[in-house]
Structures are given as structure tokens and as C-alpha cells.
Amino acid sequence: MPRILPVLLLMIALPVSAEPLYQDHERNIHVPDQQGEPEILRVGAVYNERQFRLYYEFEVDQPSWYHQYWRREGDEWVAYGSGAPGPGPHHLYEDRISMMLDDGSVEGFDRYGGWMLVHEGMRTLSSGVSSDKVKEHEKLGREMGRSDVRKYLPGTRDADAGETSWDRLMPDDELEALRDDGYFLDLWQWRAHRSHPMGHADNTLVAHYRLSSEGRSMFVHNRNEDGDGPAYMFDPDKTGRHALDWDKLIAREYGQEDDYYLSEDRAVAYDPEHDWREGDVLPRRLLRQPDGSRGAITASGNYRDGAWRIVLTRELDAPDARDSKNLEHGKTYNVAFAVHSGGVGARWHRVSLPQTLGLGVDGVDIPATRVKDLDKAEPDWVEIPLIYPGQVTWQWLNSDHPGARMVREGELGVRDQHALEELMEFIVNNELKRFR
């Protein structure tokens, strides 16, 4: 694991509520108890003539660098680690922090942040459409090979803001023109299992779908052609084992220096003739070194003293103008954060309200300091609260939401209209009222 550098610090306290206020997992409902103060995210940034650096530190009692595994049960391999809804029973889902970044090209993101990307029909919402419908869709299913609906920007659909629009994509030539004009969000995803062991964060984007940037990914699925078991196992000559042990995994006994993940340099093809035993475990991802724009963000650090301590670094120049934003001295950017911890995936994370990030700019929420030596710099820290986002969709904000007119006319944003504590209560009560 690469060493941590003392430059920028991001601190998150993420307590896990003992009992949800209401749950109905068949309808994707798991409403956490948000009583008390919101979680606090401390953020800072530095940059020099060539690179931008972001540091994360977040406190968590039960960190997870584990992510989805195959377990041997009898003569079969069984998949574990769904990530939704709510915390998984075995916490086999990685800790993750994401930052969405825009340079002003996405109108409205500065006012509504991640809520403008959530739409009726999306996976893990109570309104989520069936996989069969998505697979039958000409663009999403037949062309892109998708089986669910994920985040997208409303301008990529041919529909009014209050209308269900997941299946009403603009023509391909118009989608391409939007990308060329910068109508996408740069999405930095640090993943404790799927990217960090390779020394990277995942460089992705949101446009008409949550998409991968250009280049080779740092992970692929470890599954055979039938999808009912692994395609790779640990190389016993390099690791001294064929598989992990379920009891040790659940007891969190595999540390950061152990073989809790499977990578190309320590894997061999799965051997069906091996004497597999009850409770043998193999990771459901195969890790590898990325390239191109996909591998543009490096990551270092580890979990110690009760907190993840992580450093992200990227060149100021965008690796690819169609999937990443240039970072320039003297400019201001709109950002929003999301944190997954405690075995949760999908929408059961905590999110920030939209914030401003400025490189050498005063009067912004997160000032990035220009320095000569990144490794010796000290950032200015900012405390940012994180809250549960609920089932607030773009369609609801533009229709049944009490402030729908102001949303449609672009008069005010979420930070203008809502005090944070009231917003937390409003989001939870709204989900309970609509879905209980």
C-alpha cells in the first residue's frame, strides 16, 4: 500500500444507525434514523503548476476494504455483498467516496447538486423500472447492454422536467454534441477495494448515464461464462492459497497487507478440479492496472488510527476533454460529495449540498491553495455536512415539491431555500409519507 503524504485532509464521521425508521426492502425502502447532528466532512485542496491534490480522511469504526465475494456452499458458488438496500448483513461492500465536479457547463448543478441526477425509474428507488424493460430499450439495453437505470443529466432527455424521462433519450448525434460542449459531470470515485489497491481512484463521468472514462478499467468481474462462479482464483505459488476463508473474512481478519483482493499478478485461471471446500471464498472482482483517462487519478494512503487517510492526485490538464474537466488557476468549480460506509451501496450513502471549489479564488466554499511543493503544503480546511438523500427525484422537485415553481424557474437552489436540519427532517418525512 502506498504511503500517505501530509498535504490535504478530509475528515468524515459516519456513525451507523442501529435501527432504520422504516424498511420494506421489496420496494427498495430503508429509511435511516437521522436524529442528531449531520455527519461532518472536512475538505481541503492544494495544487501547483502541474497537479491538483485532494486528501481524504474519514473516521469509521468498521472500515471495509472488502467488496463482494463468491462463497463455496456444497457444490456451488454463491454471491455475497449486494450493497443495497441499507447496510449489508456481512458488510461485504467497500467504503467509497465520490466527488462530482463541473466547470459551469451543467446549468443547475450549482443549485441542486446530485439531486438533479436522480430520476424516476432509477435502480434502488421504489419507482425503479424492471431489468427487462431496460434490456428492451433500444439505446440503454440493446446498444449499451444495460439492465438498470443509473444517474443521468436531465438535458440528455427529450422530456419536460416534471415528466418521467429515463427512456426518452436525445438522438445520438445530439448526445455527442452535448459531450463536446462539456455537458457532463466529472466523477471521481475512490473505492477502497476496486481501485485503491491498484494505487488509483476511478475516473468516470455522468452524462446520459453514469459512464466510464476512456481507457482500461482497474477492475473487471471475476465470473465464468455462465455467471455462476469465478473465472479466476488465487495463484497458490504466489499467495500460498487457492482461496480465502469465510469465517476469517466475516471476522475482518484479512488486513490491508493481506490478499483480501485478487489482482492479475496474483491470479490464475479457476481450477474446477481443485478440492474446493465449504466456506472457501474468492473475490468477485479481478483488479488490474488501468490506463488512459480511466487511470488519471492516483491514490495513496490507508486506514489507520480509526480513519481512512487517502490522497488523490490528478494533472490539472484534463486527460480527455470528453470525460474530464480542466482545472485552472483562477477558476471556480461546482462540486458535490457522496460517502459510502458501513456496508452500504447505491443510494444509501450520505451526500453534501452543492459546494464551490476555487483554485486561487477567494469567496468560495473550498479554497484550493497554490503551492510550490505539494508534499509540504498545508490546506485550508472546510467543514461540510453530509446527509441522507432519500428518494428526492428531479421529477418530484419539478412537480409535487412545494417549491416546484422556483425549481423550474431557476430562482433558488437547495442551499438558498432550506436550513440543513430542516432539510434532513423534510427528506425523511417525505419518503415516509410517500412510501410507507
pLDDT, tens digit (0-9, with 9 covering 90-100), for 348-394: 999 999 999 999 999 999 999 999 999 999 888 888 899 999 999 99
Point out which residues pair with 312 in neighbouring strands.
54, 299
- 76-89 pLDDT, tens digit per residue, is 999 999 877 888 88
Residue type, 68: Q
Average pLDDT of every residue of the chain: 93
How far, rounded to the nearest angstrom, does the alpha carbon of residue 342 sit from its chain's CA centroid?
Answer: 14
Determine the 3-state secondary structure of 197 from DSSP.
helix
Q: How far apart are the first and last CA of the chain?
A: 45
Q: Is the pLDDT confidence value at 1 over 60? A: no
pLDDT tens digits, 218-245: 999 999 999 999 999 999 999 999 999 9
Q: Which three cell numbers stand for residue 347?
A: 443510494
Radius of gyration (C-alpha) of the chain in whole angstroms: 22
Which of these, 2, 1, 4, lies nearest to 310 by C-alpha position? 4
pLDDT confidence band for 18 (50 / 70 / 90): low
Q: Does the predicted TM-score (pTM) go above 0.85?
A: yes
Spell out the residues 6+ positions from residue 128 whose beta carbon is closer than 8 angstroms to its own.
28, 121, 122, 148, 149
Q: Let me know the angle formed at the C-alpha of 194 by 90 and 58, rounded to the nearest 5 degrees.
A: 70
pLDDT in tens, 282-339: 999 999 999 999 999 999 999 999 888 888 999 999 999 999 999 999 999 999 999 9
Reply yes or no on whether the pLDDT at 8 is more than 70: no
